[in-house]
Structure 1
Amino acid sequence: MKFTIATAIAALSTFALLSDAHISFRYPCPRRGPYSECPQPKDNEWQLVDYDVQSPIGTYNNIQDPICKHPSSFDGVRPVFQAGQVVQTKMDVDVNHLGGSCQWALSYDNGSTWVVIQDQFQNCMANAPSSSTYTVNLKIPDDAPTGNNVILNWLWNNNEGNRELYSSCADIKIQGTNGGSISGVKPLYANYGAGSPYIPEKAVSGGNWGKQFFDARPSVTITVPAQKVKRQIVEMY
């Protein structure tokens, strides 16, 4: 049977459901995500599609993938968000592990530095039904600088089950102030390799969900240079 691009697109969601999965971004699209509404691979890129996009990137004793898993997305149009906008992000949910603690962070330098823009502790994803698309509101900070190559990262430490870290990265654009800075705290990477903070299962640890580690996150300020504005010269005759 001839395997065409159309056949591959139609099969994306099916392949995603067959993999060992938990939760990831669906909108904005995760890097190399297996969703038909996401940027599609070129003819020679189909082997790069991430059919395990919902899986954790590591456990308390093992780092499986980098924070963003992949160095880039497939070529396509990035969603544009305004500073101060409340974005209805969509999560592709397999199981919710009785919730957990989430962090959302931005990077303007391809993942070298991150600043957390929103937290939800203890009950994040707790109400997400299994095998569903779940909406979570995320506010882009009012003072977020303009950036055409911004990464939005979602991190999740689950309450129940294996001690894991989940991460999902989406490439976006932000329209805000032309140059400026954004301040907050650095993300916490817990249950992510032997040297990382360990957060136990909440139900068997007397309610310990890692508060001491989240409270200790260091402050960070990201400064974004102003972009040069192209001037159009009109000659008068």
Structure 2
Amino acid sequence: MQRIVRVFVSAMLATIALAHVSMKSPCVRYTPFCDSCPELPPGQSMDNNINAPIGTHESILQPLCKYTTPYAKPAARWNAGSTVSVEFNPHAAVHGGGHAEFSLSYDMGKTFVVIHRELRYCFTGGPSSSNTGTQLSYAIPLPADLPSGDRVIFAWTWVNAIGNREFYMNCADVAISGKDGGSFTGPQMLVANYGPDTPLIPEFNGNYETGIDLYNSRPMVTVTGSSYTNASAPVAAPPQGAGSGGAYGAGSPSTPLPPTPVATIPLSSAPSVPYSATPTTAATGYGGGIPPPAYPTHVLSSVPATGGGYMASAAPVPHYVSAGPARYRARIAAKYKATGCMH
């Protein structure tokens, strides 16, 4: 009987780890949900919580991109001007949709420029209180004037419509064949609900214009592409406040973006490093030496709506509670001991 309970507990924890959303293709760093990923960098391991957010409005749980050490080889090779398919893990809890951006970085994650946006209804296609996604793949057009880069980061970021105020981000290492020595200008990627120094985008509560003003007022940034023959330490932007990165974003802004809706737009950044080079690890900061904080496992505290969805509340109400895996094992074990299933 104890073996049955242990198996059940393991299955429960696996289900917990599969909550929320992650990008499946192109293969993101350290995902267990893709069979065609490059070999893991030395000392790294698969992330069974790859679907989890990297932060909430209250705290930063992981650095931008989740992981700052890239794969040694690109997970995908793209041509500027083409349309690429982006797919998401079907084990997803989409929290009623929300705002998503797709961005590129040519400088190892210090600057991200937006090339495409799916605002309001990402994963749902329209207003929804469901936790089940109806659209888990997108065709993303790559601007024709993108610069070439053999070490480019393709990033997906998302602010959920319903539930805890969270910020999600996955990054894939890609190579882009475009304009050699070119540059690209577009809106700076928005970082929100990622620690108290970033803007709070509250629960939508049926209003899908919530937070749209922040996206429409992003400053513009310019990225340039070039190939390096030397290795470079992977560096991710630190939590963004009112510093040189501008108002809550990743990168250095130039001219302000007019407050008009933007659907599909270009990117920006600085030099890239060839995948043949072996990246080193920065001594401090998010780029290396200091491991990212452990992400607390999330479980449902209640089921607020039928059909697996979440009902919008009059005020933001957390639908999830956080705790470490050991606590959850103890809770589940206690539950089944109480029911006489565990001796």
Tell which structure's C-alpha radius of gyration is larger: 2
Of 185-194 and 125-134, more deviation after overlay is shown by 125-134
SS of the residue corresponding to residue 63 of structure 1 reads coil
Are the counterparts in 1 of residues 165 and 202 from structure 2 also a CA contact under 8 Å?
Answer: yes
Are the counterparts in 2 of residues 150 and 174 from structure 1 also a CA contact under 8 Å?
Answer: yes
Query: For the residues of structure 1 that align with 2:74 and 2:213, how far apart are their CA atoms?
Result: 40
CA shift digits 1:150-205 (9 cap, x unpaired): 0000000010011001101000010111111000011111111001111111116x
Query: For the residues of structure 2 that align with 1:92 and 1:132, how far apart are their CA atoms?
Result: 12
Query: For the residues of structure 2 that align with 1:138 and 1:80, how far apart are their CA atoms?
Result: 14
After superposition, where does 1:1-237 map in structure 2 within 5 Å?
17=15, 19-35=17-33, 36-41=35-40, 45=43, 48-93=45-90, 94-127=92-125, 130=132, 134-203=136-205, 206-225=207-226
Are the counterparts in 1 of residues 74 and 151 from structure 2 also a CA contact under 8 Å?
Answer: no
Instruction: Return structure 1 stretches of 4+ with deviation > 6 angstroms.
Output: none
Query: For the residues of structure 1 that align with 2:210 and 2:14, how far apart are their CA atoms?
Result: 30
Q: How far 1:131 moved relative to its partner?
A: 8.0
Shift of the 132–41 alpha-carbon distance from structure 1 to 2, 3 Å rule, reads: farther
Are the counterparts in 2 of residues 180 and 226 from structure 1 also a CA contact under 8 Å?
Answer: no
Query: For the residues of structure 1 that align with 2:165 and 2:227, how far apart are their CA atoms?
Result: 41
SS of the residue corresponding to residue 205 of structure 2 reads helix
Query: For the residues of structure 2 that align with 1:99 and 1:78, how far apart are their CA atoms?
Result: 27
Q: How far 1:25 moved relative to its partner?
A: 1.0
Query: For the residues of structure 1 that align with 2:36 and 2:14, how far apart are their CA atoms?
Result: 14
Are the counterparts in 1 of residues 149 and 226 from structure 2 also a CA contact under 8 Å?
Answer: no
Q: How far 1:216 moved relative to its partner?
A: 1.6
Query: For the residues of structure 2 that align with 1:82 and 1:115, how far apart are their CA atoms?
Result: 17
Shift of the 49–133 alpha-carbon distance from structure 1 to 2, 3 Å rule, reads: farther
SS of the residue corresponding to residue 167 of structure 1 reads strand
Shift of the 131–95 alpha-carbon distance from structure 1 to 2, 3 Å rule, reads: same
User: TM-score w.r.t. structure 1 length?
Assistant: 0.81
Shift of the 56–92 alpha-carbon distance from structure 1 to 2, 3 Å rule, reads: same
Letter in 2 for 1:154: W
Q: How far 1:81 moved relative to its partner?
A: 0.6
Letter in 1 for 2:169: S
SS of the residue corresponding to residue 89 of structure 1 reads strand
Shift of the 216–172 alpha-carbon distance from structure 1 to 2, 3 Å rule, reads: same
CA shift digits 1:136-157 (9 cap, x unpaired): 1111111011110000000000
CA shift digits 1:49-95 (9 cap, x unpaired): 11111100001111101111112244445311110111111111411
Are the counterparts in 2 of residues 179 and 227 from structure 1 also a CA contact under 8 Å?
Answer: no
Gaps spanning 5+ residues in structure 2: where?
1-11, 230-343
Query: For the residues of structure 1 that align with 2:133 and 2:117, how far apart are their CA atoms?
Result: 24
Are the counterparts in 2 of residues 178 and 226 from structure 1 also a CA contact under 8 Å?
Answer: no
Higher normalized strand content (fraction of residues): 1
User: TM-score w.r.t. structure 2 length?
Assistant: 0.57
